[in-house]
Homo-oligomer: A and B are copies of this chain.
Amino acid sequence: MTKYRIFLVLSFFIFMAAVTNTALSANLEKNASEKVEYEKKTVKSLIKSFYKSTGVHGFLNPDSQATSTELNAESDFSHSWGRLIMIFICILLFYLAIAKNFEPLLLLPIGFGGLLSNIPIAEIAGPDGFLGILYSMGVQNGLFPILIFMGVGALTDFGPLIANPRTALLGAAAQVGIFGTLVGAVVLTQTTDLINFSLQDSAAISIIGGADGPTALFIGSKLAPHLLGAIAVAAYSYMALVPIIQPPIMKALTSSDERKIKMHQLRKVHRLEKIFFPVTLLILCILVLPAATPLVGALCFGNLLRESGVVDRLTDTLQNSLINIVTIFLGLAVGSKLAAEIFLVPETLAIIVLGLIAFSIGTASGVLMGKLLNRLSKADINPLIGAAGVSAVPMAARVVSKVGNDEDSSNVLLMHAMGPNVSGVIGSAVAAGILISIFA
């Protein structure tokens, strides 16, 4: 016990000494930030220059690193308290990812990238830092999201959609989340003074409603790279929060009887149907909306390799080593956009709010379309599966299954929810293509 108290005291002492000395030395030599010269130096002067290279000094004296053009209170704030706040937020992301299992595959790398990008002096997110190198390698040009999409294609079985194509309409309806949020962002810009989103910005934010990570990153990096950090964090956070966001909306819009509806077993799907599917989808996309073909094409490529059954070693690579490597790089690079001076702006709060609205609208539209379809169609359709139309594969489908089970534990909705779920991915990619063809 006493032993540990001693440690605490000791560590406090060391820390305070460092801080005090640093502050002193910083005040004494504030204007000595020029490159260290190699003339004969005393140990004392060396110690002083060392103090100026510590992070403690960096946080306390943000102005010494600011370039002349941004020497103002705002950058001062973002370089001192701002950075500390962001580091705290990143550690919060670690907590959510590890303890609460919030999309850890992306939020851990993004959070770590954010932490690294807020370190003073080191400039890890700068053009010569490794985050900057990764960013220009594959985020700026959109390559990494495309490669992820190939992996998603290789991992996705479109069988449930092929077996019951009409569920695609649920995936279409859920995209109201995207375009509704676009309107919302414009309204916010027009009605408030603090928030000023361009149409490109608004479009990039609205794609959060697509509930699809790579699509959001692809559009974000094309239309609004300065908002990419907030968009990525919002998109992945809400995808992780699907089990909390969706159920109340689903329950509010459906009656208990509707939630108990049982659906017929899916028909068997011919192997050729699965092979033809990616090719058909791509041709359709070429005819109707070429602007969506980079995303849809990557998805179809991965899926064609998967279903062809003749290139298993490539499929396996897409599903594992390639998608994993790219996920690591992409997460870290996107994290570099969590630097305080980019992230700690009022726009970020607006993005968080708009993203939540987008998810809610998408879920509601999907469920309502499910009710409509159930009435129009001869076969029974449980409206709950409409909620899976937002994408967030496969989390949203699982949520549907769980809400269905809560009402009637003998009701198995998972495979039925996969149809709208994967068509939600296609719908979001189509919406992304529309946004690109209008705004890019």
Contacts and interface: CB of A to CB of B under 8 A. Distances in A.
Interface of A: 18, 36, 38, 50, 53-56, 58, 87, 91, 94, 97-98, 101, 104-105, 108-109, 112, 115-116, 119-122, 124, 128-130, 133-134, 141-143, 146, 150, 199, 275, 279, 282-283, 285-291, 293-294, 297-298, 300-301, 304-305, 308-311, 313-314, 316-318, 320-322, 324-325, 327-328, 332, 434, 437-438
Contacts of A141: 128, 130, 133
B318 A321 contact: no
Most buried by B among A291, A316, A332: A291
Contacts of A275: 98
Contacts of A115: 282, 297
Contacts of A55: 285-290
Contact of A317 (B50, B101, B321, B438): B321
Contacts of A291: 53, 121-122
B146 A53 contact: no
B313 A320 contact: yes
A120 B291 CA distance: 9
Given A116-B301, A122-B290, A321-B321, 15 more contacts: A54-B289, A54-B290, A55-B288, A87-B283, A104-B311, A105-B313, A109-B305, A112-B301, A130-B298, A134-B143, A314-B327, A316-B324, A317-B325, A321-B325, A322-B325
Given A129-B294, A293-B116, A108 B438 contact: no
A433 to B, nearest CB: 9
Given A108-B305, A141-B133, A325-B322, A98 B310 contact: yes
A335 to B, nearest CB: 10
Q: Tell me how many chains of this kind the complex includes.
A: 3
A53 to B, nearest CB: 4
A409 to B, nearest CB: 29
A94 to B, nearest CB: 7
Contact of A108 (B116, B134, B146, B308): B308
B437 A286 contact: no
B437 A314 contact: no
Contacts of A314: 105, 108-109, 324, 327-328
A128 B291 CA distance: 13
Contacts of A310: 97-98, 101, 104, 108
Nearest to A138: B133
Contacts of A321: 317, 321-322, 324-325
Contacts of A146: 130
A126 to B, nearest CB: 11
Contacts of A133: 141, 143
B324 A313 contact: yes
Contacts of A327: 314
Contacts of A316: 324
A437 B50 contact: yes
Most buried by B among A146, A287, A300: A287
Contacts of A287: 18, 54-56
A309 B309 CA distance: 33
A300 B119 CA distance: 14
